Amino acid sequence: MDILFWSIIILLFIASMVGIFVPVIPDALFVWGGFLIYQFLLADQGHGLPASFWWGMAILTILLLVSDFLTNMVFVKKYGGSKWGMAASVAGLLIGPFVMGPIGLLLGPFIFVLLVEWARNQDFSLAFKVGIGSMVAFFGSALVKLGVQAIMIVWFFLVV
């Protein structure tokens, strides 16, 4: 039975990494699912993961959740975008994959931001620049999330 639970934990960790690039997959929840399976189904009673681990994971999870929005806002703003452009970037992240498949992860935010900023400013070159900023934001956020989730998973294995 232990092999089954460890297999599920590993699959959850892999799904969490996939979730970094597929916004509809709740990456942080998968990591936590692995932790909870270990805590309640594998760890010896009373000898599970320490409180310091749970506090650290809570802080890192908050960092994961905030990184998406902050990265989008910072890069769209840096490239000259408006609040509408920031909202369009988030909408593009959520809707793009459904409309365009996997390529929608990149093109969704770009197209949404491009259209919104172009409609607002009537300046295609600025809108294009802000759209590029939304793509840079996606990759920046993905790198941050990849690093944070890797830290979470490695920390888990070090504690276990």
Q: Say what the pTM is.
A: 0.81
pLDDT tens digits, one per residue of 34-70: 999 999 999 887 789 999 999 999 999 998 888 777 7
- The Cα 68–Cα 113 span in angstroms is 16
Considering its fold, how many domains does the chain have in total? 1
Instruction: Supply angle C-alpha 64, 49, 54, rounded to 5.
Output: 30
- E-state strands within 3-58: none
pLDDT at position 152: 97
* DSSP, residue by residue, 99-137: HHGGGHHHHHHHHHHHHHHHHHH--HHHHHHHHHHHHHH
Give me 96's structure tokens.
Answer: 């793009």
Which of 142, 71, 141, 82 shows the shortest CA–CA distance to 112?
A: 82
> Going residue by residue through the chain (160 aa), what tens digit of pLDDT does each one get?
899 999 999 999 999 998 887 766 778 999 999 999 999 999 887 789 999 999 999 999 998 888 777 777 777 778 888 888 888 887 887 888 888 887 887 788 899 999 999 999 889 998 999 899 888 888 888 888 999 999 999 999 999 9
**Domain interval for residue 88:** 2-159
The answer to whether the CB of 89 falls within 8 A of the CB of 121 is no
Give the tokens for residue 46: 């009373």
